[in-house]
Structure 1
Amino acid sequence: MMAAEGSNFVQPAIPKFDGHYDHWAMLMENFLRSKEYWELIETGIPIADNKAELTEGQRKTIEGQHLKDLKVKNYLFQAIDRTIMETILHKESSKSIWDSMRQKYQGSTRVKRAQLQALRREFEVLQMKEGEKVDEYFARTLTIANKMKAHGEQMGQVVIIEKILRSMTSRFDYVVCSVEESNDLDNLTIDELQSSLLVHEQRINSHNSGDEQAFKVFYEDRTRGRGRGGPGAFRGRGRGRGKQTFNKATIECYKCHKLGHFQYECPNWEKGAHYA
């Protein structure tokens, strides 16, 4: 019965080094402590100055420590990738391997942590600039997000999507509200969101272009005296907004259709009035 229970016991897996030293060291320390081998990492193998003077009991103790150290080295060999292990010069003991790993990667882990904090702050204050295109803003946002992932940040698509929706300029308020109300953000992809915002951007640009063209036609008609209400109406609309300047030589008379004067200044208008 006891044998059956022992055979069902699941051995803990050896933690693989994935580049994040602090996390790996914590898992590996716990693993070695469960095997009662952590003392070899802390103090190393006892070295006898003169083996001839050792008692039989002392000699067996040292041999037992060497055997344990070989087991710990075997665990470390399985946990550390071959390319990294080849950069470790001293492999005489498990302690020398452990100390080399700490010197190589603990400092870089601190640097990565500091860089990640800086990227988090940059991501938090990220805002779309006035006049910035959708593609340009997505490129800026995803560049920072990818750097954060490379430094160990666990960032899902929904975090990036929510950030983008929160930081768009006011001209996208309508489409942002529409996206939030009509989509489940957990199932919405970044590409789908970018596509929706691009369509809205194109509509905005085409609408603004149409407004500019209409104003241009309106202004040209007014300055030539063809607009509704004649030239007097044009001058009245400009009142209070600064003096309107135009070339009178381009003005076309409604009466005689000659250039250079308005209808109320036309000499033919005066003749017609006396005749009546």
Structure 2
Amino acid sequence: MASNSSVQPSIPRSNGHYDHWMTDRSTLETILCKDTSKDIWDSMKKKFWGSIRARRQQLQALRSEFELHRMQSGETISDFFSRMMVIISKMRTFGEKLEDVVIVEKILCSLTPKFNYMVCSIEESKDIDFLSIDELQGSLLVHEIKLQQQDNAELALKVSSDHLVKGNGGRRSNGHNDKS
């Protein structure tokens, strides 16, 4: 009785991780002939990495979003940086090589006018070429906190002033006793 047992080579499976397949290409080539493995490889690359044209289109849309990105009025530094970093992360995923200096410059020119003197101060006191994104965010957060404290102090002073005016029946006191 002849046994018909043949061993078939195991072809690696992707599980959706294209990077893993990148390292296993040589394994695939040894299992299959070169032409067949190239066809399979190209098919997998297109399926899991997307066509080059589609990637370019997505990257172009992200570049446009990056260029148009501005801080909104009333938005916090943390929220602005979060939105900016999401765009940057997506761009880097699609192969864009963004230097920190480009990002720092973009952030500085995208802030609302209330940060103008802080931007000037940073540009004058620091070398933008070597300023990290985290360092910039920290400086801007400190400035934002100071602005909020100043706004709160001004609001408290206004409320206190309004309370004094209302306490005199709507008349402002001139500092003298008004007895009529």
What residue in structure 1 maps to residue 100 of structure 2? Answer: 157
What CA distance in whole angstroms lies between the structure 2 residues aligned with 1:109 and 1:177? 44
| Equivalent residue number for residue 191 of structure 1 | 134
SS of the counterpart of 1:186?
A: helix
CA RMSD of aligned residues (A): 2.5
Q: Summarize the alignment of residues 130-141 of structure 1 with structure 2, pairs less than 5 Å apart.
A: 130-141=73-84
Partner residue, 2:156? 213
Name which of 80, 83, 87 aligns with 1:144: 87
Matched, 1:98 2:43: no
Match of 1:175 among 110, 118, 143: 118
Supply the distance in 2 between the matched residues of 1:134 and 1:188 (Cα, whole angstroms). 17
Report if aligned partners of 1:149, 1:155 keep a CA contact under 8 Å in 2.
yes
Letter in 2 for 1:174: Y
TM-score w.r.t. the length of structure 2 is 0.76
SS of the residue aligned with 1:146?
A: helix
User: 2:174 corresponds to which residue?
Assistant: 229
Task: Give 5+ residue unaligned stretches, structure 1.
Answer: 1-18, 21-79, 231-253, 256-262, 264-268, 270-276
Larger CA deviation: 110-119 vs 164-173: 110-119
Which stretches in structure 2 are left out of the alignment for 5+ residues?
1-17
Deviation, structure 1 residue 213 = 0.8
What do the CA deviations read for 1:137-168 (whole angstroms, capped 9, x no partner)? 11111111111111101111111111100100
| SS in structure 2 at match of 1:228 | coil
Q: Distance in 1 between matches of 2:160 and 2:153?
A: 11
1:81 matched to 2:23: yes
Question: In 2, are the aligned partners of 1:218 and 1:227 still within 8 Å (CA)?
Answer: no
* Correspondence for 1:109 among 38, 42, 51: 51
Matched positions, count: 155
Amino acid paired to 2:45 = Y
State the Cα distance separating 1:114 from its structure 2 match.
2.0
